[in-house]
Amino acid sequence: MQEITLIRPDDWHLHLRDHDQMKAVVNDTAAQFARAIIMPNLVPPITSCKQALNYRQRILSAIDSSHDFEPLMTLYLTDSMSIDEIKSAAESQYIHAAKLYPAGATTNSDAGVTHIDKIQHVLEAMQKYDLPLLVHGEATADNIDIFDREKVFIDRTLTKIRQQYPELRIVFEHITTSDAVDYVISQNSKTAATITAHHLLINRNDLFKGGMNPHNYCLPVVKRELHRVALLKAASQHPGKFFAGTDSAPHAQNAKESACGCAGIYSAFAAIELYAEAFEQAGDFSNFEIFMSLAGPEFYGLPANKENITLTKQSWTVPDSLTFAEQTLIPFKAGQTISWTLGK
- Binding to ligand NCD (CB under 6 A): which residues in 246-275? 247, 249, 263-264
d(CA 32, CA 12) in angstroms, rounded, equals: 13
Contact 108, 131 (CB under 8 A): no
Q: Which of 223, 329, 227, 342 is nearest to 292 (CA)?
A: 342
Residue 250 or 297: the one with the smaller Cβ distance to ligand NCD is: 250
The reply to whether 28 belongs to the active site is: no
- DSSP per-residue string spanning 87-137: HHHHH-SSEEEEEE-BTTSSTT-TTSBS-GGGGHHHHHHHHHHTPPEEE--
* Residue of 136, 199, 215, 333 interacting with ligand NCD (CB under 6 A): 136
The yes or no reply on residue 140 touching ligand NCD (CB under 6 A) is no
Candidate segments 190-198, 200-208, 246-254, 255-263, binder of Zn ion by CB under 5 A = 246-254
The yes or no reply on residue 10 touching Zn ion (CB under 5 A) is no
Chain centroid to Cα 78, Å, comes to 20
The yes or no reply on residue 236 touching ligand NCD (CB under 6 A) is no
The yes or no reply on residue 10 touching ligand NCD (CB under 6 A) is no
d(CA 245, CA 33) in angstroms, rounded, equals: 11
Partner interacting with residue 333 (select from ligand NCD, Zn ion, none; CB below 5-8 Å by kind):
none
d(CA 272, CA 329) in angstroms, rounded, equals: 19
Number of Cβ atoms within 10 Å of the Cβ of 264: 21
- Binding to ligand NCD (CB under 6 A): which residues in 71-100? none
* Residue 31-70 contact track with ligand NCD, rule CB under 6 A, x = bound: ----------x-----------------------------
d(CA 16, CA 26) in angstroms, rounded, equals: 6
Provide the minimum distance between the beta carbon of 344 and Zn ion in the complex, in angstroms, as a whole number: 30
The yes or no reply on residue 15 touching ligand NCD (CB under 6 A) is yes
* Residues of the shown chain interacting with ligand NCD in the complex, contacts defined by CB under 6 A: 15, 41, 106-108, 136, 218-219, 247, 249, 263-264
Catalytic residues: 247
